[in-house]
């Protein structure tokens, strides 16, 4: 009787393990994206980056988006904040998250440990793009938030042409960084941002104000009327598409939000869907589920 009981328990345990293993196999088969961390040499340092890509092959028309985090943010922090992964899960894009030196970026005198050590982040991003998109097989875009946005501007000033389009979230270029070559760029701002002033006279340490910088970008891109103004709840998107250079300029402004990365609320979209719409030059649509 005891032997029968032992065999019965063993059978139940084996069945449970098999069922658990089967569940893991099914979960793996249902997975739509994967994440891998890589390292490389650039600017005399060992640098790392995280790749989030669809399990299925990425179509040639699908973009690779490089995301530069805000200061002191880990990759996990930035992935949670920018909410771009659903585009990967839908098979529409690949995401690259470079890791900042001591979680900071040297945008030319700012910020954190990267600036203090004079880290060559421009060299890092140039080498990174060549590695993740050899031969420029895909459209490749750059998103930068705060400190990362300042580095995005540094790339536009120091290495124009590396990226096909740029989205800068709540950041302005350093004083010696003046964009002189046309580029397709989206500037994201909030009326109540106390770090980046919206217009002259507003509170904020960064310079120039967002409206002034957008005016400069429009001048470089030779953007004249007509402009398209589209309200989305408490956010207004203004786009100049008929620029003489062939580039585009976008200006997305949230009524509130301070210096935070804009998240969706009610009928007001988050920055992720506005960035995607601008990059792909398509009509605004909700984030895929």
Judge whether residue 22 has pLDDT over 50: no
pLDDT for the residue numbered 226: 86
Q: Where are the beta strands (DSSP E) in the chain?
A: 33-42, 45-54, 64-68, 94-98, 140-145, 165-169, 185-190, 228-232, 235-240, 249-254
Length of the chain: 289
pLDDT for the residue numbered 224: 84
Average pLDDT score over residue span 211-218: 98
pLDDT for the residue numbered 225: 76
Task: Name the residue among 278, 280, 196, 287 with its Cα closest to residue 230.
Answer: 278
Average pLDDT score over residue span 245-270: 97
Distance CA 114, CA 282 (A): 36
Contact 90, 52 (CB under 8 A): no
Q: What letters, b where the CB count within 10 A reaches 16 and e where it falls short, cover 165-183?
A: bbbbbbbbbbeebebeebb
pLDDT for the residue numbered 110: 95
Distance CA 278, CA 92 (A): 15
Using one digit for the tens of pLDDT, what is the confidence trace for 113-162?
999 999 999 999 999 999 999 999 999 999 999 999 999 999 999 999 99
**Which residues are CB-neighbours of 214 under 8 A, at least 6 positions away?**
187, 249, 251
Q: Which residue has the higher pLDDT, 225 or 155?
A: 155
Confidence of residue 180 (pLDDT cuts 50, 70, 90): very high
Q: Is the whole model's pTM more than 0.85, yes or no?
A: yes
Q: Where are the beta strands (DSSP E) in 106-234?
A: 140-145, 165-169, 185-190, 228-232
Average pLDDT score over residue span 242-261: 96
The two tokens of residue 281 are 């030059």
Average pLDDT score over residue span 251-256: 98
End-to-end CA distance of the chain: 54
Judge whether residue 34 has pLDDT over 70: yes
34-280, CATH topology level = Rossmann fold (3.40.50)
pLDDT for the residue numbered 242: 87
Confidence of residue 289 (pLDDT cuts 50, 70, 90): confident
pLDDT for the residue numbered 6: 34
Judge whether residue 19 has pLDDT over 50: no
Task: Name the residue among 94, 73, 69, 71 with its Cα closest to residue 84.
Answer: 94
Distances (CA, A) of 151 to 18, 71, 146, 201, 264: 50, 11, 9, 25, 25
For the chain, give the mean pLDDT.
Answer: 90
Contact 251, 218 (CB under 8 A): no
pLDDT for the residue numbered 30: 66
Judge whether residue 188 has pLDDT over 70: yes
Q: Which residue has the higher pLDDT, 30 or 83?
A: 83
Distances (CA, A) of 191 to 115, 153, 232: 29, 21, 15
Judge whether residue 78 has pLDDT over 80: yes
């Amino acid at each position: 009787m005891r032997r029968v009981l032992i065999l019965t328990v063993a059978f139940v345990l084996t069945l449970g393990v098999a069922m658990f293993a089967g569940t893991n196999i099914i979960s793996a088969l249902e997975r739509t994206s994967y994440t891998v961390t890589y390292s490389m040499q650039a600017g005399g340092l060992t640098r790392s980056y995280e790749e989030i890509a669809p399990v299925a092959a990425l179509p040639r028309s699908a973009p690779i988006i490089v995301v530069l985090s805000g200061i002191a943010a880990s990759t996990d922090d930035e992935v949670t904040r920018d909410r771009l992964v659903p585009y990967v899960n839908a098979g529409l894009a690949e995401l690259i998250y470079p890791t900042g030196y001591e979680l900071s970026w040297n945008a030319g005198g700012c910020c954190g440990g990267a600036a203090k050590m004079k880290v060559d982040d421009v060299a890092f991003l140039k080498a990174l793009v060549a590695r993740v998109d050899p031969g420029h097989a895909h459209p490749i875009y750059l998103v930068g938030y705060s400190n990362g946005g300042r580095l995005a501007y540094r790339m536009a000033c120091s290495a124009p042409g590396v990226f096909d389009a740029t989205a800068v979230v709540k950041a302005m270029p350093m004083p010696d960084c003046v964009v002189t070559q046309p580029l397709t760029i989206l500037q994201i701002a909030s009326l109540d941002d106390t770090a980046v002033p919206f217009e002259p006279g507003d509170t904020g340490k960064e310079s120039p104000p967002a409206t002034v910088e957008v005016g400069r970008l429009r001048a470089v891109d030779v953007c004249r009327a007509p402009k398209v103004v589209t309200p989305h709840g408490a956010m207004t998107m203004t786009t100049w598409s008929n620029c003489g250079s062939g580039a585009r300029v976008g200006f997305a402004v949230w009524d509130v939000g301070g210096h935070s990365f804009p998240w969706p609320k009610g009928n007001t979209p988050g920055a992720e869907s506005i960035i995607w719409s601008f990059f792909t030059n398509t009509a605004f649509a909700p984030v895929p589920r």
